[in-house]
A = this chain, B = another copy of it.
Amino acid sequence: VAGSSAGRLEGKLREKTLTLDTLNPQVKAVEYAVRGPIVIKAGEIERYLEEGGTKPFSEVIKANIGDAHAMGQKPITFLRQVVALCTFPELMDSPSFPEDAKRRARRILQGCGGHSLGSYSASPGVECIRKDIAAYIEQRDEGVPSDWENVYLTTGASDGIMTILRLLVSGKDSSRTGVMIPIPQYPLYSAAISEMDAVQVNYYLDEDNCWALDINELHRSYQAAKQHCQPRVICIINPGNPTGQVQSKKCIEEVLHFAYEENLFVMSDEVYQDNVYAPDCQFHSFKKVLYEMGPEYFNSVELVSFHSTSKGYTGECGFRGGYMEVINMDPEVKAQMVKLLSVRLCPPLAGQAAMDVIVNPPQPEEHTFKQFHQEKSSVLGALAEKAKLTEKILNAVPGIKCNPVQGAMYAFPRIFIPPKAVEEAKALGMQPDMLYCLRLLEETGICVVPGSGFGQKDGTYHFRMTILPSIEKLKVLLGKVRDFHIGFLKEYSGLE
């Protein structure tokens, strides 16, 4: 046996097996700004305040992550009733729970092994929930058929996205798999690409055109990538995170035609499908548009769409519920995917139950409809108001330009950063918008994420903030951003 313990006893320290040097380099390459350094700093300040420290503000406002309940949004009563009934079926006897909720809970439990939320489900999810999801999709898409066997429950949309990429990307592939993603993007995508050692292929959204996706830019990006990798998949986020745009039907058609022509697998991240605020915008599912392009397209383009319990009007992030619908996937590949899902056993059952309520909400003839509908409209109405408010206040600040927040939960304003501040940041080895966001945090307690964490055109700077704080808090927040920004410009333009 190698190594002498005598030597070590004389003082030589045992070396660590796992160090930054020996760590899987693909893990090292991962970046994830939404919970990055700025958020760690925010946590430190929070603790400092708690321990009685003083700052020019009394609390940290976390506008860095789309976490509705953490910002005070109340859960939808009906959803929680159903999940509580599933968790503790003794409540079926309680008169304070509505029959509508009991009916759904019973149906879900019937689909669970031993009628318990504590059983593993089949790896693709509980069968009756998959059926409810398929029915929902058919209704949403006005009759476009959905086969429940194409529906797979997931542990949040994140898990579904990772699973599909895992099928497509082989780290050892000599021709290297290219994954086309929008820039700016939700950084799960770039992180997954790093972790799997795929090639990130950027296509830039058009900031001057409300962050629309431009088909010419797709062609440019694809052709450029072909020089050094094999682009095999295109990811779209609609409505957009962090950019808040809602894609037009025409634009979706162009993307699908492009994917058809170039034989690309299409990943359509539609977790914000219920979050559309602009009156002139409407959510079009990629699947429905594909259907309307005719059978040659509908029967051939490989498409997967992701949804989640975390967004919409429920904001149930902690449940880690979600699903994906996969169409035109090779049956043999599907079998391989199910095998892969089996290794992790199954998605959490409470999350599956929550997903079921979202796709199978109270109907007009049910007693619970009114309250459910009120709660839903109240959340979505407030979000629409906050979307408008954010755009308006930000655009009134000199040196900030914010596209309309048509959907999703974020504003991604462009900020002018004076050359002196850019220089200072560079001297600190920092992105200029990181410097900006750190200063904003330290001076106002507002936590937002630098645009560099999502990707942006060189020489442009942004930050992402959520529109989730309550209207009152949001107004205060936006006022502070304005004052900070004006002060920042003054300071670095030498006008002070």
Contact = CB atoms under 8 A, between A and B. Distances in A.
Interface of A: 1-3, 5, 8-9, 13-20, 22-28, 30, 32, 34-36, 65, 67-73, 75, 80-81, 83-84, 87-88, 91, 94, 96, 112-114, 116-121, 123, 155-156, 158-159, 162, 166-172, 187-188, 191-192, 195, 197, 219, 232-233, 258, 260-265, 296, 300-302, 310, 314-320, 328-330, 332-333, 336-337, 339-340, 342-351
A100 B342 CA distance: 37
Question: Which A-B residue pairs are the 7 nearest by beta carbons?
Answer: A70-B113, A318-B349, A84-B88, A69-B116, A35-B342, A69-B118, A348-B348
A290 to B, nearest CB: 13
A345 B350 CA distance: 17
B83 A17 contact: no
Number of copies: 2
Contacts of A170: 24-26
Contacts of A171: 26, 171-172, 197
A2 B187 CA distance: 30
Contacts of A1: 219, 258, 261-262
A318 B16 contact: no
B17 A343 contact: no
A313 B26 CA distance: 39
B342 A23 contact: no
A270 to B, nearest CB: 18
Contact of A3 (B3, B30, B96, B261): B261
A27 B117 contact: no
Nearest to A97: B88
A119 B69 contact: yes
23 contacts: A1-B261, A2-B262, A3-B261, A5-B260, A8-B296, A14-B300, A16-B302, A19-B332, A25-B170, A26-B170, A27-B166, A27-B336, A30-B339, A32-B342, A69-B118, A72-B114, A73-B114, A155-B320, A158-B345, A162-B344, A172-B197, A320-B345, A350-B350
A120 B311 CA distance: 12
Contacts of A258: 1
Contacts of A319: 117-118, 348-350
A495 to B, nearest CB: 39
Contacts of A159: 344
B87 A167 contact: no
Given A23-B336, A84-B87, 16 more contacts: A5-B261, A20-B333, A26-B171, A30-B339, A32-B339, A34-B342, A73-B114, A94-B94, A155-B320, A171-B197, A172-B197, A188-B343, A319-B349, A320-B320, A348-B350, A348-B351
A344 B156 contact: yes
Given A118-B316, A349-B319, A67 B113 contact: yes
* Residue of A27, A34, A188, A328 contacting most chain B CB atoms (<10 Å): A27
A436 to B, nearest CB: 22
Contacts of A69: 113-114, 116, 118-119
A16 B261 contact: no
Nearest to A165: B24
A262 B3 contact: yes
Contact of A18 (B73, B81, B84, B333): B333
A68 B112 CA distance: 12
A15 B195 contact: no
Contacts of A116: 69-70, 75, 318
B88 A261 contact: no
A94 to B, nearest CB: 8
A90 B265 CA distance: 46
A329 B300 CA distance: 49
A283 to B, nearest CB: 23
A95 to B, nearest CB: 11
Contacts of A75: 116, 118
A19 to B, nearest CB: 5
A118 B9 CA distance: 51
A151 B172 CA distance: 33
A246 to B, nearest CB: 24
B330 A19 contact: yes
Contacts of A350: 87, 318-319, 348, 350-351
A120 B67 contact: yes
A481 B170 CA distance: 43
A345 B309 CA distance: 14
Contacts of A316: 118
B5 A166 contact: no
